[in-house]
Amino acid sequence: MPPKLAVVYLGMAGAFSRPPLEALLRAGISVRAVVMPAPARLVGRPLPPDAPPVVPRAPAGMAAARRVPLPLLGAPLEQTIVRVAAERKIPILEVSRLADPRTVAALAAYAPDALCVACFPWRIPLALLRLTRLGCLNVHPSLLPDNRGPDPLFWTFWRGDETTGVTIHRMDERLDAGPLIAQRMLPVAEGIGEVALERQCAEVGGELLAQAVQALATDTTPLVPQDEAAATTYPWPVAADYVLNPERSARWAHRFVCGLVGRGQPLRIRAGDSTFRVAASLGYDPTGRLDTPWRQEGDEMWLRCAPGIFHARLVADVRC
C-alpha cells in the first residue's frame, strides 16, 4: 500500500477555507498542520522585533473574538477550520512572517507532500513554493486566468457574469498565476447571494483539490500553463465600486444587489444630488419605462436603467 499523502493547509477563519480542508480529510489525505495568519498582522498591529514568526496555538485559545473585519470572514467559530482542526487534533500555527527561515523550517518539519491553500491573504514566498515535491496548490473561485485578484466573487457580481467557476492551480511567485490543474464551471443563479455562491465554489473547490493532490502524486494529471493573453486582474473593490450604475440593465442591478447586499460595505444609488443606501432588491422589470430617472415612495425606490426599471428597498431615513 502506498504511503498516505500528507499536506499542510493554509487558510483563514472564514467560510471559504473550511470545505476544502474537510474534502482533503474525507479523501484520506493527512493534514499535518493548519496554518493561519496571526491576528495582529491581519488588523495591522505592529509586531515586536523579537516576536516569533510562527506560534503554535491550542484550538481552545483561538477565541471567536479574533474574527477580523475583512470581506468573506463572517463564519462563526464553530464553522471554521479552527473547529475542524480541534476535532481532528490537527496542530494550528499562527504565522506572522511566512518567508522567515524559522517558519519554513517549522512547516518542513511536518514533511508534507504538498501545501494546500484556500483563502490565505498573503503571497506565498519562494521558499515555501519549493518546499514540497508536489508544490503549493491553491483553490481560486474563478476560471483562471480570468478574474485574478483578492476578491473574485465581488467582481463576478460587478461584471454581471452568468457563469463563474473554480480553479486549482500550482502557485508560483505571481498572484493567481502558475499552471492549471483542474477547473469546473458553475452557473451564477438569478438572485443568488455571495454567501451561497461562495459555499458552492468552496465545496467544488474542495473536491477538485483532493483529486488534484492525488493525481499529482501519481503523475496522472497534466499541468496547463495559463494563457496570459486572456488574463484579467482586479484589485480590492473601493467604495465607488459599490454604487449602482443606472447605465447598466435593471437585471444587472438586481443581480448585483442580491449578490452583495450582505457585505459590510453599503450599496448605494446616486440619484440627482442625493445618494441612497440600498437595503434589498425588490425585483426588476426588464422592459419597463420610467418618465423620470428615479421615483421614491417611502422606503421604496424605482430606478430607470438601460434597459428596464430596478425596484429597491432603501435603508430607512438614510441619505448620504
Using the Cα atoms of residue 200, residue 203, residue 208 and residue 209 in order, give the sign of their dihedral.
Answer: positive
d(CA 79, CA 77): 5
Alpha-carbon distance values, 61 to 34, 47, 58, 302 (Å): 15, 19, 5, 49
Q: What is the pLDDT of residue 59?
A: 56
Q: Which of 35-49, 143-157, 241-255, 277-291 has the lowest mean pLDDT?
A: 35-49
Summarize pLDDT for 149-167 with one digit per residue, the tens.
Answer: 999 999 999 999 999 999 9
The dihedrals phi and psi of 43, each to the nearest 5 degrees, come to -100, 10
In whole angstroms, give the CA distance from residue 51 to residue 47.
Answer: 6
For 236, the grid coordinates are 480590492
Residues 89/95/100/104 CA torsion (nearest 10 deg): 20
> Side chain identity at 249, as an amino acid letter?
S
pLDDT in tens, 162-185: 999 999 999 999 999 999 999 999
Percent of the chain with pLDDT over 70: 91
Per-residue 3-state assignment (H helix, E strand, C coil) for 225-258: CCCHHHCCECCCCCHHHHEECCCCCHHHHHHHHH
What domains lie within the chain, and their CATH numbers? 6-230 (3.40.50.170), 239-319 (3.10.25.10)
Q: Whole-prediction pTM value?
A: 0.90
Question: Over the stretch 194-211, which tens digit does the pLDDT of each residue have?
Answer: 999 999 999 999 999 999
**Angle CA 138–207–9, to nearest 5:** 40
Task: Quick: pLDDT tens for 61-89.
Answer: 444 334 333 333 444 445 699 999 999 99
